[in-house]
Amino acid sequence: MKKLLSLLLTLAVLLSLAACGSGSDEGSLTIEEGKLIMSTNAEFPPYEMKADGEGVFNGFEGIDVEIALALADKLDLELVIDDMGFDSALLAVQEGRSDMVLAGLTYREDRDEVMDFSTSYATGVQVVIVKEGSAVNMDNLGEKMIGCQLGTTGYIYASDSVENGGYGEEHVLGYENGALAVQALLNGQIDAVIIDNGPAQAYVETNAGLSILEGDWVTEEYCLAVDQGNTLLLEKLNSALEELIADGSIQSIIDKYIKD
Ligand code: ARG
Alpha-carbon 4 to chain mean position: 48
Q: Identify the pLDDT of residue 217.
A: 79
- Beta bridge partners, 82, equal 39
- Which numbered atom of ligand 1 lies nearest the CA of 105? 4
Residue nearest to atom 12 of ligand 1 (CA): 152
**Tell me, what DSSP letter sits at residue 190?**
-
Q: Identify the pLDDT of residue 19.
A: 47
Q: Which residues does ligand 1 sit against, CB inside 6 Å?
A: 40-41, 43-44, 48, 86, 103-106, 124, 149, 152-153, 196, 220
The alpha carbon of 177 and the centre of ligand 1 are apart by a number of angstroms equal to 10
- What global pTM score does this model have? 0.89
Q: Which helix (H) or strand (E) holds 112?
A: helix 109-112
The alpha carbon of 106 and the centre of ligand 1 are apart by a number of angstroms equal to 7
- Which numbered atom of ligand 1 lies nearest the CA of 124? 1
Q: Is 115 helix (H, G, I), strand (E, B) or coil?
A: strand
**Tell me, what DSSP letter sits at residue 58?**
T
Low-confidence ranges of the chain (pLDDT < 50): 13-14, 17-25
User: Are 116 and 225 contacting, i.e. CB atoms less than 8 angstroms apart?
Assistant: yes
Q: Identify the pLDDT of residue 215.
A: 72
- Which numbered atom of ligand 1 lies nearest the CA of 41? 10
